Structure 1
Amino acid sequence: MTPPPSQTRDFPYWLVAAAAIAIAVAISIAASDLYVQIFGAISRGIWITIWVTLVGFALASALGLGIALMALSKSLVLRQIARFYVEIIRGVPVLVLLFWIAFAGVPAFVAGWNWLTGPLREAGFGGELLVRDISLLWRAVIALTIGYSAFIAEVFRAGILSVDPGQIEAAKALGLTGFQRFRLIVFPQAIRTILPPLGNDFVAMVKDSSLVSVLGVADITQLGKIYASGSFRFFETYSVVAYIYLLLTVSLSLMLRALERRMRRSIQ
C-alpha cells in the first residue's frame, strides 16, 4: 500500500537548488575584491547577531516557561497575570517594544532603582547597587526577551496541555511531587510537541535580531547600513546582508528538522 503524500519524504530538490545558489554566490564573493571588502566589513556583526539571538532566546524561553506555568496554575491571580502579560505583549509590534524598552522602560527602571536605593547609599549600604547605565545592546536583548517570551509561553502552555492527564494522575498516585511530575512525566512528553514551534520562534528571532540595528547595535544589518551609506554600494551590500541571514536561517531550519526526525524515530 502506497503511503499518503503527507507521509512520504520528497527528495529535497529545493535544498539542492539553494545549495547551488549559495555556492555560486560564495564563489562570486570570493572572486570579487568589492564583495570581499563588503563581506569583511559586515562579517564582524555576525557574532553580535548570534550573541543577541542566543542570549535573547535563552532568556525568553526561561521567562516564557515561567509564564506558561503561571497560566496553568491553580491560582486565579497567577492565571490572570499570565494572561494579561501574554495578551498585552503580543499586541505590541516588536519594533515598537524595542523603542519603548530602550528609551522609556529602561530609563524609568534606572531612575526608580536609583530613587529606591538612595536611602541605602546615604546610609552606606548600597553604593555598588546603584544602576548607572544599561548598554543599548542589553536593552535590545531585554526587548527581544520580553517580546518573544509571550509567544513562547503559549507554545509551552499548549505543549504541556497536550500531555495525557491520566499519566499525571498516575504519577500523583505513585507519590511524585509536583516538580518530579513535571520533570519526569510532563516535560519529556511535552517537548516533542513544543520543539517544532519553538524552533520556528528561534529562527524568527534570528531575523528579528536585525531590528536591534535601529539602536545602533553593530550587528550585520547595522554594519551593512553603515557601509552602504558610505560607499553608495546599496545593491552589493544588502545582497551580502541577505545572503548571510539566509545562510543562518536555512542552516538552523535544517538542523531543527533533523532533530525533529530523530525525536520522531525515537518515539516509534
Structure 2
Amino acid sequence: MTKESSRTLTPAKFSKFFFMRLLSKTKWLQVGVYLAILAICCYAAYVGSTRMGYNWQWYNVPKYFFVVTADGIKVGSLIWGIGATAVICFYAFLLALATGTMIAMLRLSDLIVGRAIALCTLEFIRNIPLLVLLYLFYFVLGPVFGWERFSAAVLCLGIFHGALVSEIIRAGINSVPLGQWEAAKSIGMSQLQAYRYIIVPQAFRFMLPPLTGEAIQLVKSSAIASVIGVAELTTLGRNIISETYMSFEIWLAVAAIYFSITFTLSMSVNSLERRLKRNS
C-alpha cells in the first residue's frame, strides 16, 4: 500500500472517524438533551400561562430560598424542604438496603421456610401501589405502633424500595461465577468470609448502577409523603402556592430542585463506577 493510498478517506474510515468523534462528545450531547428538554418545558409553561393571562412573579421566588437581613442570611422554606427530603431519603435508603439484604439472603439460603417468607413478602410489597402502602402504614399501622408522619413515611419508602433492592442484590450475587465459591471453599473460607472477601466485592460492581437508579427513584418517590402532611419539599412548595398563588414559579422551582438532586447523584455514581472499573 502506497503512502498516497493510505491517506485516502474511504467511507469506512469516514464512518469510524465520525462515530469516534460522536462518542467522545456523548457527555456533552446528554447535557444538551437535558437542557433542550428543560427549555421546551419552560417554553410550554410560558405559552400556557400567556394564554391564561398569568402574572409571572419570579422576583418573589428567591426569598423562598434565602433572605439577606440585618441579622444575616435567613433560610427559606424551600431550603428547609430540601433538607427534610434529604433526611427522609437517607434513612429510607439505609432501611431499604437493610431490608433488601435480609430478603435477598433469605431467598439465597437453603431454608425452605426462609425462601417462602421472603418470596411472599416480596410479592406482597411489589404488588401494592406505593400510595396505598403509605396509607396502610400511616392510617392502619401508625395508630397501633405509635408512628408519626415522618416515621411512617420513612418506613413505607424503606420497605417498598427494599423489596426492589433485594432483587438487585440477589441478581448481583448470582452474577458472580460459581468458581469463585469453589475457590473460597478450597482455601477453607466460611460462607460469611466468602461473602465478605470474595463475593460481595465482585458483585458490588454489578449492583452499583441499578442501586443508583433505585436511589434516584427513592428521591422522586419521597414526594408522595406530602399526602400525609410530612413537611418535605413538595409539601412546603404546595404551602407556598396556597399562600401566594404562584403555581408556575414554585412548581418549576421544585421540579428544578428534584432534577438537580437526581442529576448530581447520577453523575457522582457514574464517576465512582468509572473509577472502580479502572482499579479492577
Question: TM-score normalised by the shorter chain: which range applies?
Answer: 0.7 to 0.9
| 2:222 corresponds to 1:196 | no
Look up the equivalent residue of 2:143 and give its one-letter code: P
Residue correspondence of structure 1 range 76-91 to structure 2 within 5 A? 76-91=112-127
Q: In structure 2, how many angstroms separate the alpha carbons of the residues matched to 1:4 and 1:197? A: 31
Over the matched positions of the two proteins, sequence identity in percent amounts to 36
| 2:192 corresponds to 1:179 | yes
Q: CA deviation at 1:229?
A: 1.1
Which one of 52, 57, 63 corresponds to residue 37 of structure 1?
A: 63
Deviations 1:159-205 (A, max 9, x none): 00001111101111111011100000110000011000000000110
Which one of 211, 221, 226 corresponds to residue 208 of structure 1?
A: 221
Which one of 36, 55, 66 corresponds to residue 102 of structure 2?
A: 66
Runs of 4+ in 1 over 3 A off after TM superposition: 1-9, 16-22
Q: In structure 2, how many angstroms separate the alpha carbons of the residues matched to 1:4 and 1:150? A: 44
Deviations 1:96-143 (A, max 9, x none): 1111111112323x2xxxxxxxxxxxxxxxxxxxxxx32210110000
8 Å CA contact retained: 1:38, 1:237 = no
Larger Rg: 2
| 2:182 corresponds to 1:169 | yes
TM-score (ref. length: structure 2): 0.78
Q: How many residues align?
A: 237
Residue correspondence of structure 1 range 96-175 to structure 2 within 5 A? 96-108=132-144, 110=145, 133-175=146-188
Q: CA deviation at 1:68?
A: 0.2
Q: In structure 1, how many angstroms separate the alpha carbons of the residues matched to 2:60 and 2:247? A: 12
Q: CA deviation at 1:263?
A: 1.4
8 Å CA contact retained: 2:142, 2:148 = no
Q: CA deviation at 1:41?
A: 2.6
Q: In structure 1, how many angstroms separate the alpha carbons of the residues matched to 2:19 and 2:132? A: 42
8 Å CA contact retained: 1:65, 1:153 = yes
Instruction: Report the equivalent of 1:220.
Output: 233
Name stretches of at least 5 consecutive residues in structure 1 with no aligned partner.
26-30, 111-132
Q: CA deviation at 1:32?
A: 4.8
TM-score (ref. length: structure 1): 0.82
Look up the equivalent residue of 2:191 and give its one-letter code: G
Q: Secondary structure at the match of 1:134?
A: coil
Look up the equivalent residue of 1:52 and give its one-letter code: I
Q: CA deviation at 1:257?
A: 1.1
Which one of 78, 81, 87 corresponds to residue 51 of structure 1?
A: 87
Deviations 1:19-65 (A, max 9, x none): 7979xx9xxxxx95311124333221111000000110011101101
Q: CA deviation at 1:5?
A: 6.3
The structure, 1 or 2, with the larger RCO (C-alpha pairs under 8 Å, 6+ apart) is: 1
Q: In structure 2, how many angstroms separate the alpha carbons of the residues matched to 1:71 and 1:166? A: 21
- After superposition, the Cα gap between the structure-2 partners of 1:8 and 1:18, relative to the gap in structure 1 and judged at 3 Å, is closer
